[in-house]
Structure 1
Amino acid sequence: MGSRVTLKSKGKSVKGAKGAEEKSMTDCVKEWSTWTMKKAKVITHYGFIPLVIIIGMNSDPKPQLYQLLSPV
């Protein structure tokens, strides 16, 4: 095979490095936001009903726990 000739210019490599740095920062922010949203979804899923029960127990008429959980 033939030998390859590559041309490197200093200006382009500096811009490329800067763009790669910004790209990795945006990727980091995207990963962090995705991780945060997944955790928030789990917390909301498992925390909603206990929150409703706690708010119901602290209401004015003070119902019993079985009264809060019964469908009637």
Structure 2
Amino acid sequence: MSSRITLKTKGKSVKGAKDSEKSRADCLKEWSTWAMKKAKVITHYGFIPLVIIIGMNSDPKPQLYQLLSPV
């Protein structure tokens, strides 16, 4: 049994290079789209509660109805 050493060349002659790069790009695009959708939902439902929590932890310590009232 003899071991065989093969070298991979960088060039256009490699068949699988474009397929793997394309799949990586597609995977990155799919992941970023998924992450942006999740971030949009988190921001949408988390913004008002975050403002209320920050307002209740401020120095004068307002009541909840004082935070929610428009006056």
**Residue number in structure 1 paired with 2:61:** 62
Query: Which residue identity does 1:30 align to in structure 2?
Result: K
Give 1:44's aligned residue.
Answer: 43
1:22-69, Cα deviation, whole Å (9 max, x unpaired): 100100000000000000000001000000000000001100000000
Q: Which runs of 5+ in 1 are unaligned?
A: 1-11
How many residue pairs are counted as aligned between the two chains? 60
Which residue number corresponds to residue 23 of structure 2? Answer: 24
| 1:34 equivalent in alignment to 2:1 | no
Residue 15 of structure 1, CA deviation: 2.9
Q: Secondary structure at the match of 1:43?
A: helix
| Structure number having the greater helix percentage | 1
Cα RMSD for the two superposed structures: 1.3
Identity of aligned residues (%): 80
TM-score normalised to the size of structure 1? 0.78
User: Match of 1:3?
Assistant: none
